[in-house]
């Protein structure tokens, strides 16, 4: 019985070992696939951030090239603004600016300011022109006015006072002669147009988002938009650390300061320009397929474990049945041998009546029968032997006929 119990224990032990091996394989596979999904999401976000940052930086370089071309066509008469907004000089300058803005649809505004900060030429897509207006108080003019050795300035995010649009302003020092400050050329982009036209069509991941932040942490645009946060400062210690580090890019997992969801987040500088692209994707969405795979693998392991246990139980029952049948079969075989021995031809001595067994030994009848049957002998003397051997003691038994 102890031997059988050990056999049963061995069956269950094998089942547990197989189930554990399957579980170990599943865990190993899930860990590898999880790391792969994480790595893939990080690589994807880095790639998207690099592409968008390069595209945005390329746009800024093209704007700077446009402003340099405008610089080459501005005249002293146009800057003098002697004939006002309706003068021939202003008309010619506005025609030049209109051609530039028409050929570059992502531009929202172009203008030329003289050294006093007066717009002597301006075109705008969304509202009336500002020709003749004094914008010397604007940072995109005052910075270059106070830093005349600088050639260009890229402003932080600001809100337009008349329209409440969020803008970025790019300004370049106007120099008709080398080293001379003659005014400022202005180019502007609205955050809405950048979000919807320049970069907004990029859909790199389900639940992904793109944002543009200036070096002062002002949010220019967010796509998809989050109401009420564009134009405000972004409070994020990770962003602060990234700006201070001077790194070109940084990818990490954390809660987004914009919507407080756990995300893959990538900060990417727009090359030499003071802007930062923020690429984010929701981690639960990125790992959605992995979660489904984990559920399928878990149910698969549970199914395999149940099958192994049922198979082990069936094998145990089969082994037990075979063991019992084997024992019964042995008993029946032994009994059958005994029955055949007693029913076969039994060699017996004609004189002493001893019986020879299958090994060639002679045994008394009672010894032989007791050996091969369950019968026991009790000795006595039959009447014939009593008469023959003990005639003095022998008494015949009266029959019924004598009595009559």
Residue 206 belongs to some domain of the structure: no
pLDDT at site 6? 57
**This model's pTM is above 0.75:** no
pLDDT over 90 at 84, yes or no: no
| Domain end point (choices 132, 164, 194) | 194
For 33-45, the pLDDT digits (tens) are 999 998 988 898 8
Q: Highest-confidence range of 79-93, 156-170, 324-338, by mean pLDDT?
A: 79-93
pLDDT at site 226? 60
User: Max CA-CA distance within the chain?
Assistant: 182
Residue 167 belongs to some domain of the structure: yes
pLDDT at site 390? 76
For 266-312, the pLDDT digits (tens) are 999 998 888 898 888 888 888 888 999 999 999 988 988 888 888 88
Does residue 377 contact residue 366 with C-beta atoms inside 8 Å?
yes
Residue 60 belongs to some domain of the structure: no
Residue 381 belongs to some domain of the structure: yes
CATH code (residue 85): 3.30.450.20
| Domain end point (choices 133, 167, 194) | 194
Residue 317 belongs to some domain of the structure: no
Does residue 206 contact residue 163 with C-beta atoms inside 8 Å?
no
pLDDT over 50 at 94, yes or no: yes
Non-local CB neighbours of 271 within 8 Å, separated by 6+ positions:
53, 54, 57
Band the pLDDT of 359: cuts 50, 70, 90. Answer: confident
How many structural domains compose the chain?
2
Band the pLDDT of 396: cuts 50, 70, 90. Answer: confident
Residue with tokens 């650390």: 241
Task: Retrieve residue 131's tokens.
Answer: 């020709």
Residue 219 belongs to some domain of the structure: no
pLDDT at site 165? 72
Non-local CB neighbours of 193 within 8 Å, separated by 6+ positions:
106, 108
Average pLDDT over residues 63-82: 92
Q: Rounded to an integer, what distance in angstroms lies between the CA atom of residue 167 and that of residue 282?
A: 28
Cis amide linkage into residue 224, ω under 30° from 0: yes
For 133-171, the pLDDT digits (tens) are 898 998 889 999 999 999 999 887 777 766 667 778 899
Residue 152 belongs to some domain of the structure: yes
pLDDT over 80 at 101, yes or no: yes
Domain assignment of residue 105, given as a range:
74-194
**Coil/strand/helix, residue 187:** strand
| Domain end point (choices 194, 212, 246) | 194
Q: How many residues does the chain have?
A: 404
Residue 245 belongs to some domain of the structure: no
With b for 16 or more beta-carbon neighbours within 10 A and e for fewer, the 357-373 pattern comes to eeeeeeeeeeebbeebe
Share of the chain above pLDDT 70, in %: 84
Band the pLDDT of 402: cuts 50, 70, 90. Answer: very low
What CA–CA distances, in Å, run from 136 to 166, 194, 219? 19, 26, 25
Alpha helices by DSSP H, listed for 125-267, are 139-146, 191-193, 237-245
Beta bridge partners of 231: none
Band the pLDDT of 258: cuts 50, 70, 90. Answer: low
pLDDT at site 327? 80
Does residue 87 contact residue 172 with C-beta atoms inside 8 Å?
no
Higher pLDDT: 352 or 75? It is 75
Q: Rounded to an integer, what distance in angstroms lies between the CA atom of residue 300 and that of residue 297?
A: 5
């Amino acid at each position: 019985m102890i031997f059988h119990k050990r056999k049963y224990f061995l069956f269950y032990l094998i089942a547990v070992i197989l189930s554990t091996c399957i579980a170990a394989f599943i865990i190993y596979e899930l860990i590898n696939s999880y790391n792969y999904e994480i790595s893939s999401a990080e690589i994807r976000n880095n790639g998207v951030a690099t592409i968008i940052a390069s595209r945005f930086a390329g746009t800024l370089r093209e704007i700077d090239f446009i402003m340099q071309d405008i610089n080459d066509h501005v005249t002293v008469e146009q800057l003098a603004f002697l004939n006002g907004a309706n003068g021939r000089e202003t008309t010619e300058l506005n025609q030049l600016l209109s051609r530039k803005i028409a050929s570059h649809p992502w531009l929202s505004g172009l203008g030329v300011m003289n050294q006093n900060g007066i717009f002597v030429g301006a075109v705008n897509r969304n509202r009336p022109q500002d020709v003749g207006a004094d914008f010397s108080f604007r940072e995109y003019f005052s910075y270059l006015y106070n830093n005349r050795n600088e050639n260009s300035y890229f402003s932080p995010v600001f809100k337009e006072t008349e329209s409440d649009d969020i803008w970025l302003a790019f300004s370049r020092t106007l120099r008709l002669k080398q080293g001379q400050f003659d005014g400022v050329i202005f180019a502007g982009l609205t955050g809405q147009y950048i979000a919807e036209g320049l970069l907004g069509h990029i859909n790199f991941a389900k639940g992904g988002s793109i944002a543009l932040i200036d070096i002062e942490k002002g949010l220019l645009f967010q796509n998809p938009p989050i109401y009420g946060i564009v134009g405000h400062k972004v409070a994020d210690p990770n962003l602060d650390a990234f700006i201070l580090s001077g790194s070109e890019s940084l990818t990490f997992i954390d809660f987004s300061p914009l919507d407080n969801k756990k995300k893959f987040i990538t900060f990417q500088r727009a090359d030499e320009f003071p802007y930062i692209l923020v690429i984010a994707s929701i981690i639960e969405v990125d790992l959605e397929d992995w979660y489904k795979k984990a559920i399928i693998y878990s149910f698969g392991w549970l199914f395999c474990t149940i099958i192994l246990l049922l198979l082990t139980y069936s094998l145990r029952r089969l082994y037990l049945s075979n063991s019992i049948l084997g024992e019964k079969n042995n008993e029946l075989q032994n009994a059958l041998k005994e029955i055949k021995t007693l029913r076969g031809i039994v060699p017996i001595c004609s004189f002493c009546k001893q019986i020879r067994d299958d090994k060639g030994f002679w045994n008394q009848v009672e010894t032989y029968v007791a050996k091969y049957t369950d019968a026991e002998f009790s000795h006595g003397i039959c009447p014939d032997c009593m008469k023959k051997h003990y005639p003095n003691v022998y008494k015949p038994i009266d029959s019924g006929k004598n009595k009559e």
